[in-house]
Structure formats: C-alpha cells, structure tokens
Amino acid sequence: MSIHKEVKKITTNTLQKMKQAGEKISMLTAYDFSFATIIDNAGIDVILVGDSASNVMAGHETTLPITLDQMIYHAQSVVRAINRCLVVVDLPFGTYQSNSDIALASAIRIMKETGAHAIKLEGGEEVIESVKRIVGAGIPVMGHLGLTPQSIYKFGTYNVRAKEAAEANKLKNDILLLEQAGCFAVVLEKIPAALAKEVSNSVQIPTIGIGAGKDCDGQVLVMHDMLGINTEFKPRFLRQYLNIAELATNAVQQYVQDIKSKGFPNEKESY
Ligand code: KIV
C-alpha cells in the first residue's frame, strides 16, 4: 500500500517518508475554496497557495504585485476547504528579501492568520538567514530554486535556468544550504533534468519539480494551466489534463442562447 493511501493527514514527515520509499509526491496550486475542495478530495498530497495567484487570479503579468494581505486571503479560503493535504503558502515578493526580521514577521502572519502548514520562499544563499529564523520559530519552510519568478527582471526571460556551469554550481550549493538551514523540501523550477536528478540525489529532503524532469521526488503544476483554464500559457513542461476554457465557453454560449430564445427558464425551473 502506498503511503499516500495510508495516511489521514499529509505532514512534512509524510513527504520525507515518501522520498525514502521512492513514492512520488503530487502537488498542485489552488487559491480558492471551491477548487481546493475538489483538489483535496481528489487526493493531492500538497496544495501550494502560489504567488502565481498574481497571474492567474489577478491578471498581472508577473508575480511581483501580489501582497501579503492578498496571499493571506487566498490561503484562508484554501485552508477552509481542506481535510487531508498539506497546505504551503508563498511569501510574496518584498515580504522577506530585505531582512530576516521582516521575513519572520511575514511567515508568522501567514501561519497565524491562515491556518496553513508551511511557507515557501525563493532563493538560496541570499535568504539563508531568513530560512533559519523562520525554521527556528517552528515554521516549516519549502525552498524554491532555478527559475524563481520573483526575480524575473533580473533574469530577463522565463527560459530554462542553470544550463551553464556557474549557475548549476550555485544551485548545487544552494540546495545543500537550504537543507542544512532546515527546509523540508525544495521546488526546482525549469532546470535541466540531469541537474535536477543530481541535486535530488544529493539531499535527503524531497525535491518537487516543475519543468525539471522525471527524477525529482515530486511534481507541481499551476492548476489553471493543467486544467486548461488559462490556455495562453503552453510551455513544453506542461501537461494539460482538461480544457475548462473550451467547456466553459460552450456552456456560457448555450446559456446566452437559451435566454435569448426564451428557452430559459422553463416551467420546471420556475415557482
Ligand atoms: O507560485 C507558484 O505557482 C509556484 C509554482 C510554479 C511552483 O511557485
């Protein structure tokens, strides 16, 4: 029997056991009560309340504008829905980079005001002090390396990261630092599959890949991309499991037609 089926509630320890047993970890983003209910009932291991909410919920071009208050609102909505999965919430841009006091205060607000189980932040060596302080306060931290979207204006593009030796070596060092600082898992975004395999084998904590190949200990996708709600974004790493945009468009067109043709509501739908 898989660990996933055995446990009633997924914790950071469960994820560690999954890595040790070679059982892959499933993670998906969610930002609201209704979808979080579906996703938790469907048996996902981890819900990430990602700062990708800035893109897919608010329509911003980048993840930079979303605020801590907005992330807290999304996380509260998700936490109200879940019974079983682990809920991780992104610390948004500007709420942890300046110093570790601010980082700790932001993480504490998320834990206190949302009931989520862990936070995620982007970066390696640059944020190590903050990771240590947050972990020291008893808050589980998930790291995020490779393509870190909060640094998009530094990178200039959303292309694959760490293809060159210098950046790959930094990433190899950063993941060790994050593990030593007490992170319980690390997201690896858009890096070569061979590098993801190497670093996944170099640490005891699970790695969760997005565009990082099959050898990560788990996989994550943005819900709006994998369910085909947002059909504009089609990177090579994305597997789209449904086309909600098409289904919803057809349904709304039918609804409009039914109203115009006076076919809705009918007698059974009236009092
Ligand atoms: O915000 C997000 O959705 C993320 C995932 C892409 C890992 O950080």
Residues 156-209 have pLDDT tens digits of 999 999 999 999 999 999 999 999 999 999 999 999 999 999 999 999 999 999
* Distance between Cα 50 and ligand 1 center (Å): 5
- Amino acid 236: pLDDT: 96
- For residue 90, give the nearest of 112, 113, 74 by alpha carbon: 74
pLDDT tens string 131-142: 999 999 999 999
Burial 131-169 (b: 16+ CB within 10 A, else e): bbbbbeeebbbbbbbbbbbbbbeeeeeeebbbeeeeebe
Q: What is the pLDDT of residue 5?
A: 83
Taking the alpha carbons of 110, 111, 114, 117 in that order, is the dihedral positive or negative? positive
Q: Give residue 4's pLDDT.
A: 84
Mean pLDDT estimate for the chain: 97
Q: Band of the pLDDT at 230, cuts 50, 70, 90?
A: confident
State which of 46, 71, 91, 187 you would mutate to test the pocket of ligand 1, scoring each by most atoms of that ligand within 8 A of its C-beta. 187
Which of ligand 1's atoms lies nearest the C-alpha of 63?
Answer: 1
Those residues with Cβ within 8 angstroms of residue 3's Cβ, 6 or more apart along the chain or in another chain: 14, 17, 18, 21, 23
86-104 burial, b at 16+ Cβ within 10 Å, e below that, comes to bbbbbbbbebbbeebeebb
Which residues have any ligand 1 atom within 6 Å of their CB? 29, 48, 50-52, 90, 187, 189, 210, 220, 222
pLDDT confidence of residue 54 = 98
Using 50, 70 and 90 to split pLDDT, how confident is the model at 231?
A: confident
Q: 3-state class of 237 per DSSP? A: coil
pTM above 0.95, yes or no: yes
Q: What are 2-38's pLDDT values in tens digits?
A: 888 888 999 999 999 999 999 999 999 999 999 999 9
Look at residue 144 and give its three-state secondary structure. Answer: strand
pLDDT at 1 over 80: no
DSSP, collapsed to helix, strand or coil, labels residue 120 as: strand
Tell me, what's the pLDDT at 266?
Answer: 98
The alpha carbon of 200 is separated from its chain's Cα centroid by a whole number of angstroms, namely: 18
| pLDDT tens-digit series, residues 44-59 | 999 999 999 999 999 9
- CA angle, corner 92, sides to 78 and 188, nearest 5? 85
Nearest CA to ligand 1 atom 2: 50
Q: Is 197 exposed, middle or buried (0-12, 13-18, 19+ CB in 10 A)?
A: middle
Beta strands in the chain (DSSP E): 25-29, 46-49, 86-90, 118-120, 141-146, 185-189, 207-210, 218-221
CATH 3.20.20.60 fits 12-240, yes or no: yes
Q: What is the pLDDT of residue 6?
A: 86
Say what the pLDDT of residue 232 is.
85
Provide the pLDDT confidence category of residue 73 given band limits of 50, 70 and 90: very high
φ, ψ dihedrals at 155, nearest 5°: -70, -40
Please tell me the distance from the alpha carbon of residue 98 to that of residue 46, in angstroms, as a whole number: 28
Q: Is the dihedral of CA 229, 240, 145, 10 positive or negative?
A: positive
Ligand 1 midpoint to CA 260 (Å):
41
Mean pLDDT confidence for 100-114: 98
Task: Please report, for the chain, the start and end positions of each structural domain, with discontinuous segments joined by +.
Answer: 12-240, 245-271
CB 35 within 8 A of CB 223: yes
Report the pLDDT value the prediction gives residue 175, as an integer from 0 to 100.
98
pLDDT digits (tens, 9 = 90+) for 78-103: 999 999 999 999 999 999 999 999 99
pLDDT at position 263 is: 98
∠ CA 50-117-73, rounded to 5°:
50
66 three-class SS: coil
